[in-house]
């Protein structure tokens, strides 16, 4: 039991640009149900901001995610994300409902919104968590990598709500209990609210196969061992043949071989594809945290002692400049 007036867990239910609930929301809901059990069954709620598009679908997804209560806050202006407007609306709801814990997905939007809300609510935020628990005093124990990924720190927050962001695809959806969800729909008046930002254009970060790094089933990732642009072009060719996308280590990004949006790892994206092909990547812990949940990992490296082999399902010791062209030829012959 928590020792304060604040009760329940509130989750920010972010929508995609197609007005669908992001899968990280169901991941957070599943985890929140486990936390709520340790808090004597406190309710798990969601808040969604919508311009009223796709509402039935949104309700369906949130009910199936196991929420006790869902606040659906509506205004045409919620169509486009604005830090000023969204944060004000979230802060007002938190003040009204006084949750003990508030969780966000560590998406671009969640990473923007959560700290603004935390600062305004005079509380703490543990960002980019990899695990959540409730300690013996009923406090949120939020775990995240620290010291360059070499240590895991479990952080407690003095104030309420205790806030955290969690990366997509880190938490497993397990044993979800479907509830008789209470939906509270409200129109939000934004007359006195201004946004200091305006969206001029939206450019989706897709590669040739039309898939984003986060959604890809197959990722061919290159590291410093790839050495030059020509090498990365080969990885791209392989990725296209496999209907996948290319990712990179920070080492490769720092060398100018790949764009920062392609970086996977602690300071890049977290991915969980069906197949991850690591090419010329040593397997530093800061890279591993972003890809170690991949279903199958194939590593190609000339150094048999490279740490990437410790987590690989299949390891190929050899020169990538020989192996990658051979793989490409083999796939072309099969097409």
Binding site for ligand FAD (CB under 6 A): 148, 223-225, 249-252, 263-268, 280-282, 284, 286-287, 290, 300-303, 306, 319-321
User: Please, what is the minimum distance in Å from the beta carbon of residue 50 to ligand FAD?
Assistant: 33
**Please, what is the minimum distance in Å from the beta carbon of residue 43 to ligand FAD?**
36
C-beta of 70 vs 271, nearer to ligand FAD: 271
> Least distance from C-beta 269 to ligand FAD, angstroms?
8
Instruction: Write down the least CB distance from residue 301 to ligand FAD, Å.
Output: 4
What single DSSP character describes residue 178? P
In this structure, the number of other CB atoms found within 10 A of the CB of residue 88 comes to 20
Torsion on CA atoms 205, 20, 272, 279, rounded to nearest 10: -10
Q: Cβ of residue 183: shortest distance to ligand FAD, in angstroms?
A: 39
Would residue 216 be called left, alpha or beta, if left means φ above 0 and alpha means ψ between -120 and 50 degrees?
A: beta
Question: Within its chain, how far is the Cα of 219 from the centroid?
Answer: 17
In terms of Cα–Cα distance, which of 101, 89, 87 is closest to 43? 101
- C-alpha dihedral sign at 285, 266, 317, 255: negative
Nearest to 2 by CA among 164, 226, 156, 232: 156
Q: Which is nearer to ligand FAD, 174 or 303 (CB)?
A: 303
């Amino acid at each position: 039991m928590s020792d304060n007036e604040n009760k329940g867990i509130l989750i920010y239910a972010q929508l995609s640009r197609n007005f669908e609930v992001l899968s990280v929301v169901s991941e957070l809901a599943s985890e929140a149900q486990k936390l709520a059990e340790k808090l004597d069954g406190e309710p798990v709620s969601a808040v969604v901001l919508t311009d009223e598009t796709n509402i039935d679908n949104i309700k369906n997804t949130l009910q199936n995610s196991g929420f006790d209560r869902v606040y659906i806050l509506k205004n045409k202006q919620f169509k486009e994300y604005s830090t000023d407007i969204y944060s004000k609306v979230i802060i007002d709801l938190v003040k009204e409902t006084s949750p003990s814990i508030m969780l966000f997905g560590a998406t671009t939007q969640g990473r923007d919104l959560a700290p603004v809300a935390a600062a305004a609510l005079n509380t703490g935020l543990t960002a980019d968590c990899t695990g959540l628990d409730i300690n013996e005093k009923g406090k949120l124990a939020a775990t995240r990598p620290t010291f360059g990924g070499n240590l895991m720190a479990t952080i407690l927050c003095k104030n309420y709500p205790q806030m955290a962001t969690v990366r997509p695809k880190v938490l497993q959806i397990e044993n979800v209990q479907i509830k008789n969800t209470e939906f509270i729909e409200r129109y939000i008046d934004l007359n006195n609210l201004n946004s200091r930002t305006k969206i001029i254009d939206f450019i989706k970060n897709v590669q040739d196969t039309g898939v984003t790094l986060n959604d890809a089933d197959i990722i061919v990732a290159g590291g410093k061992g790839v050495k030059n642009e020509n090498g990365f072009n080969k990885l791209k060719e392989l990725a296209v043949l496999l209907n996948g996308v290319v990712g990179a280590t920070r080492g490769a990004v720092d060398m100018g071989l790949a764009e920062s949006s392609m970086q996977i790892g602690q300071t890049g994206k977290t991915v969980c594809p069906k197949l991850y092909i690591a090419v010329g990547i040593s397997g530093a812990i800061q890279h591993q945290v972003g890809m170690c949940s991949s279903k199958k990992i194939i590593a190609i490296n000339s150094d048999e002692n490279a740490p990437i082999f410790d987590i690989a399902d299949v390891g190929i010791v050899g020169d990538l400049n020989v192996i990658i062209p051979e793989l490409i030829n083999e796939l072309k012959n099969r097409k």
